[in-house]
Amino acid sequence: MINRNVLKKCAAVLLGINMFSLMLTGCSSFNPADQVESLGGKVIQTSTIFAMDTVMELQIYGDAALLNEAQQKITDLENRISVTNSESDIGKLNAACVTEVIDGKNYKSAEISAVTAQIMERALKMCERTDGALDISIYPVVKTWGFTTGEYKVPTDQELSELLKEVDYTKVVLAEDGGKNTICKIPENMQVDLGSVAKGYTSQMLTDYFTESGITSGLINLGGNVQCIGSKPNNDKWKVAIKSPFSDSKSGILGVLEASDVAIITSGGYERFFEEDGKIYWHIIDPDDGRPTDNGIVSVTIVGKDGFLCDALSTALFVKGLDEAISFWQQSDDFDAVFVTEDGTVYVTQGIADSFTLSSEYYNAEKIILTK
């Protein structure tokens, strides 16, 4: 049974704390360079865009025109991969007709653009690396619970076992079509979704674009998932707040990470959930049983150089639960993490132990430093 206390309905997203502190109450349009400030002699350009169901705040020290280009890149990407847009690569693939039989199974197929193929390929590698804790074919299950539409319901065991028969990322086939496009083939009743990695891919794409354009200082905040470019112009590290997953939190902040040149990506049950008969159901699903995870973990933050990897792992390690998540980290060398369990214990991996500080509200929380 998921503890209600862990849910925080509307948390303030705070980042670069000395710069911004704003409530995510919704924002409808992009405003390039809607705010200009100055720090360390450089000019700060900021903009806000609503895309991928998320308020996105971009802050760079440099040319405001880059923010216009960034907006275009986000829109183009969303148009390619949005699962709810029937014209996107993913929308078309999910709705495609059967074209062939592979291993005795009817397959449908669609041509996908290079960017979708790249995300798909990388996502499939992460599904494999996490042993299927991440599974991009979980979408029909997520949909049946109502997390895509807001028409929430608890499916029957029968419904879930039928749906789970079609969940298996290993059945996704990516094939070259001889030209520059890729054909993606999936079983007739399968539907895929890249939502678990979309924001991480986006923040990494923007980081690469800004960096290649000469930006050495900036902050990308996609609904609480943050990627830092360099440090602040005065060379101080960025201070990035990690949200509290607890509904009774007064400040909304679990702690603050001092960081530079990394992505800091959090998955939390509080982000999307519903309550029925006193029980909470959230949007991260265990592909083993098709149900919202209920393993004691209430928040996973992944810190690393690669935004895509961080996003994939924030979802996957949430699914794995604490013990498996810790041993996964111990066998890896490309990320650090903060895990929070429903009893309020905070686990911090050794690589960020010195740069992560619990907020004054959680100062007395038990903090366990994980070592390899």
SS3 state of residue 325: helix
DSSP 215: -
CB 29 within 8 A of CB 56: no
Residue from the set 89, 135, 286, 311 that interacts with Mg ion by CB under 5 A: 311
**Is residue 72 classed exposed, middle or buried when 0-12, 13-18 and 19+ CB atoms within 10 A define those classes?**
exposed
Fill in the amino acid letter for 136.
I
Residue from the set 144, 196, 299, 301 that interacts with Mg ion by CB under 5 A: 196
Q: Does 306 bind Mg ion (CB under 5 A)?
A: no
Q: What are phi and psi of 322, to 5 degrees?
A: -60, -55
Q: Which stretch binds Mg ion (CB under 5 A): 13-21, 165-173, 310-318, 349-357?
A: 310-318
If you search the block for the tokens 């999936």, which residue do you land on? 186
Shortest distance in whole angstroms from residue 137 CB to ligand ADP? 8
Q: Does 202 bind Mg ion (CB under 5 A)?
A: no
134 contact choice in Mg ion, ligand ADP, none (CB below 5 to 8 Å, kind-dependent): ligand ADP
Q: How far apart are CA 220 and CA 208, in angstroms?
A: 12
Shortest distance in whole angstroms from residue 89 CB to ligand ADP? 17
If you search the block for the tokens 């007739």, which residue do you land on? 188
349 contact choice in Mg ion, ligand ADP, none (CB below 5 to 8 Å, kind-dependent): none
202 contact choice in ligand ADP, Mg ion, none (CB below 5 to 8 Å, kind-dependent): none
Q: Judged by CB, which is closer to ligand ADP: 71, or 144?
A: 144
Q: How far apart are CA 74 and CA 61, in angstroms?
A: 19
Sites of contact with ligand ADP (CB under 6 A): 134-136, 138, 142, 147, 193, 195-196, 199, 267, 271, 283-285, 287, 311, 314-315, 319
Q: Does 314 bind Mg ion (CB under 5 A)?
A: yes
Distances (CA, A) of 324 to 227, 233, 295, 319, 336: 26, 39, 11, 9, 15
CB 93 within 8 A of CB 182: no
Give which of 349, 195, 202, 223 is closest to 284, Cα–Cα: 195
122 contact choice in ligand ADP, Mg ion, none (CB below 5 to 8 Å, kind-dependent): none
298 contact choice in Mg ion, ligand ADP, none (CB below 5 to 8 Å, kind-dependent): none
Sorted by sequence, the CB contacts under 8 Å of residue 233 that are 6+ apart come out as 39, 40, 41, 42, 61, 217
Shortest distance in whole angstroms from residue 176 CB to ligand ADP? 25
Q: Judged by CB, which is closer to ligand ADP: 47, or 314?
A: 314
138 contact choice in Mg ion, ligand ADP, none (CB below 5 to 8 Å, kind-dependent): ligand ADP
Give contact residues for Mg ion (rule: CB under 5 A).
196, 311, 314-315
